[in-house]
């Protein structure tokens, strides 16, 4: 027994050390930092909640955190809403022998670096970009369209759609699509097809069968997809920095500014801890809500 334990610990020691050194350590440091304060060039190491007080009362931080949640919430909804039909199609309408080929094709965008994909979107969305050229060529009344829908960059006519919150939403939705498709696909694959026949047999139409059987049974996959997209996008830093412009900056950009630009590491740490807490609360609430709605008992 003693020997078994020693051997087990020896085996997991390298990854454990790695995780402690590079995950738990820095995380702990962030939490400690968040209770310190910056005193011009030095750090005041008395523990205080001053940073939290400031972060929660200053409208700038609040606005940026809310904008982060809004953008990633929108990204999550768009991504999952678009991913569901794709996953459904592959699971229910693609020949079983061709399913792995389809999944393979869906993951192909991942073969390109994330940064390269962002730059490709810049080419698409720039002032002389693909999208604007098309609009100019077919002469779409962008201002009218923008006024009708309330989308800011459209209201400005042929100004670039780039450097806006919409550009961030678009880029992130595209980047995270496969993350949303795969868990939903797995959940749909697990549904016993005879359950759908049973529902038809018991009098339901194709549509009501979908609502009463397919959707509730796919719920775990949908929840997984929601969280897989939401959690990393709230803290995404590269996309808003590259395509967001001043109106599309998110909390991660503010944290970066605090640490490197304003030399206020404690404030950056505080914002990071707050962002993590908010994401945790929203994730737990989503799981709790999904459990209640789908009626699955623990």
Binding site for other proteins (CB under 8 A): 192, 194-195, 197-205, 212-213, 216-217, 294-297
Between 217 and 229, CB nearer to other proteins:
217
Tokens of 201: 């047999």
Instruction: Report the C-alpha gap between 87 and 99 in whole angstroms.
Output: 10
Between 219 and 273, CB nearer to other proteins:
219
CA dihedral 157, 161, 162, 166 (to 10 degrees): 140
Between 14 and 203, CB nearer to other proteins:
203
Query: Around 239, how many Cα atoms within 13 Å sit in the side-chain half-sphere?
Result: 28
Instruction: Report the C-alpha gap between 141 and 127 in whole angstroms.
Output: 16
Q: Nearest approach, Cβ of 80 to other proteins (angstroms)?
A: 20
Q: Nearest approach, Cβ of 95 to other proteins (angstroms)?
A: 13
Residue 75 near residue 176, CB atoms below 8 Å: yes
Cβ contacts of 147-156, under 8 Å, gap ≥ 24: 152/247
Between 220 and 244, CB nearer to other proteins:
220
Q: Nearest approach, Cβ of 205 to other proteins (angstroms)?
A: 6
Q: Which of 236, 226, 241 is nearest to 287 (CA)?
A: 226
Q: Nearest approach, Cβ of 298 to other proteins (angstroms)?
A: 10
**H helix intervals, the chain:** 2-19, 25-34, 50-57, 59-93, 99-106, 114-125, 130-138, 142-149, 152-155, 165-189, 193-201, 206-209, 215-234, 238-239, 251-256, 265-294
Q: Nearest approach, Cβ of 92 to other proteins (angstroms)?
A: 15
Between 148 and 289, CB nearer to other proteins:
289
Between 82 and 287, CB nearer to other proteins:
287
Q: Nearest approach, Cβ of 296 to other proteins (angstroms)?
A: 6
Q: Nearest approach, Cβ of 85 to other proteins (angstroms)?
A: 22
Between 161 and 183, CB nearer to other proteins:
183
Query: Around 52, how many Cα atoms within 13 Å sit in the side-chain half-sphere?
Result: 13
């Amino acid at each position: 027994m003693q020997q078994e334990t020693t051997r087990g610990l020896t085996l997991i020691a390298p990854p454990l050390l790695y995780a402690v050194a590079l995950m738990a350590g820095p995380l702990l440091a962030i939490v400690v930092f968040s209770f310190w304060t910056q005193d011009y060039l030095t750090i005041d190491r008395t523990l205080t909640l001053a940073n939290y007080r400031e972060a929660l009362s200053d409208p700038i931080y609040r606005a940026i955190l809310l904008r982060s949640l809004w953008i990633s919430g929108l990204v999550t909804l768009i991504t999952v809403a678009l991913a569901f039909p794709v996953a459904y199609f592959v699971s229910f309408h693609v020949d079983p022998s061709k399913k792995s080929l389809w999944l393979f094709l869906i993951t192909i965008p991942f073969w390109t670096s994330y940064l390269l994909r962002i730059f490709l979107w810049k080419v698409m969305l720039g002032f002389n970009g693909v999208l604007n050229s098309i609009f100019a060529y077919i002469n779409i009344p962008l201002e009218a369209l923008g006024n009708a829908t309330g989308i800011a960059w459209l209201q400005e006519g042929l100004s670039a759609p780039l450097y806006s919150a919409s550009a961030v939403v678009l880029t992130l939705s595209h980047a995270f699509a496969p993350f949303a498709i795969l868990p939903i696909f797995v959940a749909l694959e697990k549904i016993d097809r005879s359950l759908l026949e049973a529902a038809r047999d018991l009098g339901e139409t194709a549509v009501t069968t979908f609502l009463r059987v397919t959707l509730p049974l796919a719920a775990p996959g949908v929840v997984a997809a929601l969280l897989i997209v939401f959690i990393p996008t709230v803290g995404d830093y590269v996309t808003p920095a590259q395509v967001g412009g001043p109106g599309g900056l998110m909390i991660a950009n503010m944290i970066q500014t605090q640490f490197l630009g304003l030399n206020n590491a404690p404030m950056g740490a505080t914002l990071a801890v707050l962002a993590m807490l908010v994401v945790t609360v929203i994730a737990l609430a989503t799981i709790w809500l999904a459990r209640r709605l789908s009626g699955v008992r623990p």
